[in-house]
Amino acid sequence: MANGLAATVSEESRVIGAYNHALSSLINNSRENGYIIDARDTSDIVVFVAPIYTVKDGESAFVFRKDDEPIGTIRLHVTSDGFTGTLVSLAKGTVPMEPFDKILLDVKR
C-alpha cells in the first residue's frame, strides 16, 4: 500500500510541477502579474502570481478579464505553498471571477 501511495504522490508532484511550468510560461509570455486559478470559494481563491513579484500578506490586487473589463478586488495572503486570495469586492455583483482572469498587483507605495 505504501508503494502505491508513494507512486500517487510522485505522479501528483509531477503534474503540479508541469502546471507550475505552464503557468510560469504563460506569465512570461503575457507579462501579466498573475492569474486567478480557482475562485469557487471566494474566501480561499487559488491564485498564481509571477515569481518575480514580492507580495506581502494582506496586499490588495485588482482582477480584470480584459484590460478594460474590471472584475473586482482581492486581498492576497502568503502561504507556505504560495498565495491565496479572498474576495474584497466585485465590480458587478453578478459577474464572478473566473479562471485565468488577470491579476494586477497594487504596486503604488
List the chain domain ranges: 33-105
Measured CA angle at 103 (ends 99, 104), to 5 deg: 165
Phi, psi of 30 (to 5 degrees): -95, -20
Q: How confident is the model over 52-68, as pLDDT tens digits?
A: 888 999 999 999 998 88
Whole-number mean pLDDT of the chain?
Answer: 87
User: Rounded to an integer, what distance in angstroms lies between the CA atom of residue 5 and that of residue 79?
Assistant: 25
Strands (E), 1-109: 34-38, 45-49, 60-64, 70-79, 82-90, 102-105
pLDDT of residue 37: 94
pTM: 0.81
